[in-house]
Structure 1
Amino acid sequence: MDDRMSHPNRERADRILDAAGELLLRMGYRKVAVDDIARAVGIGKGTVYLHWRNKELLFQALMMRESADLTDEVLQAIKADPAMILPHRMIPGSFLITHRRPLVMAMLRGNAEMFGSLGDLALHKQQDELRAQFEETMLRHGLIRADVPNLSYALSASTLGFYLGDTLSHEFEGVPLEEKAAVLAHVIRTAFEPAGEPDPGAVAEVAAELGSALEELVAGYRNGIYAHDPTRSPG
């Protein structure tokens, strides 16, 4: 069943979030008022408050929806091909998916003017927990090298450079996105994965384990998006 059909006013809530996202990109968090969002949707301000008690909770729900959609896209890619779970495929795959989502890119790049204090509320805890589980599972199944000092820092620094590079220098702005993803895949494969072909059994086990974790994460996000207070929803 379509999730929207099982929740009254879900379609209206999505229209509110769509408008909030467009205004956020155009004006920034501090300048967007609930009045602006209501006007864009063609409803009264009071109707917006029926869904979320204040502007901050509304925008939390917006970023929760963005994170749920992005995570679900990664999950579907893994279900279609379990080898997508390998670091040199999953990390560049997520890189490409993220670049198709301007709000997530702006959040990831720490755009303080756009997000104000909202960046501090952007689901970092769940994402950090998932990242730690990803690394632990990869190590346990021998799909990532165990001799890399401070693996979490090394992986994070190596990956973030590809997201943030254009904000620090204009030198490589002309490099096509797909080429950047291919370079990222090469770096991850050569620096962090053991030589040789990965064991198919290990790949299948990791895909199943991390796929379940991603499903739980998406379910938790979906439970919270349309709650009056997303931070207190179940899941």
Structure 2
Amino acid sequence: MSHPNRERADRILDAAGELLLRMGYRKVAVDDIARAVGIGKGTVYLHWRNKELLFQALMMRESADLTDEILGSIKAEPATILPHRMISASFLITHQRPLVMAMLRGNADMFGSLGDLALREQQDQLRARFEETMLRHGLIRSDVPNLSYALQTATLGFYLGDTLSAEFEGIPLAEKAAVLAHLIRTAFEPAGEPDALAVAEVAAELSSALEELVSGYRNGIYAHDPTKAPG
């Protein structure tokens, strides 16, 4: 069930996001969030039963917004779906979202017990679907051993690179995204031009999977318990 006062719910989530980045999950109290919005604590509980559910809703909203951006770029240009383009586009979009970056980097101080969000499970399912669809349409090489592991670790290294060494901090983000695209293109995609029909089919299939994910998130965000959202 959605709450009639969605605008207030969004203000609560905005404040929660800012406080989370500043103080970390453990230190933020519902009191702090209520004060930042200028409402009583009880009003926050009208939207979410407890702090954990509120922050799950916040991360759902972040993921939904991020996925919407990716969907927008696929609609504008279906070839964005190719692994090297999709993965580098996601890399750039994710860097605009400090909360998602912190979640990806497993920032325990910031997230506390939120580390094992239900979101992770859905992301993993989506990743498996992405790989399976790419393989079925010949847009990714079938001879890469442990494909899922190889793709994930190759990609994650770009998100974690700065945390491992100060040596690469000076490389501009766009350049890092280009390096990531090059790596994925040369290591994981078949040589030659991809088949245009396959690209169109994969774009349609994966767009509908992403739209489903977003609508599930959007239903859950404003529910009293986002993990038990309708749909």
TM-score, shorter chain, exceeding 0.5: yes
Match of 1:200 in 2: 196
User: Given the alignment, which residue of 37, 49, 53 partners 2:49?
Assistant: 53
Cα distance between partner residues in 1 of 2:108 and 2:72? 31
> Aligned AA for 1:115?
F
Match of 2:82 in 1: 86
Shift of 1:234: 1.6
Cα distance between partner residues in 2 of 1:107 and 1:158? 18
Match of 2:97 in 1: 101
CA offset digits 1:23-68 (Å, max 9, x no partner): 0000000000000000000000000000000000000000000000
TM-score of the superposed pair, with normalisation by structure 2: 0.98
RMSD of aligned C-alpha atoms? 0.8
Q: Secondary structure at the match of 1:202?
A: helix
Q: Secondary structure at the match of 1:167?
A: helix
Long gaps (5+) in structure 2: none
Cα distance between partner residues in 1 of 2:144 and 2:220? 37
Match of 1:141 in 2: 137
Cα distance between partner residues in 2 of 1:112 and 1:145? 35
Q: Please say if residues 78 and 85 of structure 1, whose CA atoms lie closer than 8 Å, have aligned partners that are also in contact.
A: yes
Match of 2:128 in 1: 132
Q: Which has the higher contact order (CA 8 A, sep 6+)?
A: 2
Match of 2:215 in 1: 219
Cα distance between partner residues in 1 of 2:85 and 2:3? 36
TM-score of the superposed pair, with normalisation by structure 1: 0.97
Long gaps (5+) in structure 1: 1-5
Once superposed, which parts of structure 1, at least 4 consecutive aligned residues long, lie more than 6 Å away?
none
> Aligned AA for 1:184?
L
Question: Aligned pair 1:233/2:229, yes or no?
Answer: yes
Match of 1:3 in 2: none
Q: Please say if residues 63 and 122 of structure 1, whose CA atoms lie closer than 8 Å, have aligned partners that are also in contact.
A: no
Cα distance between partner residues in 2 of 1:100 and 1:94? 10
Cα distance between partner residues in 1 of 2:9 and 2:84? 37
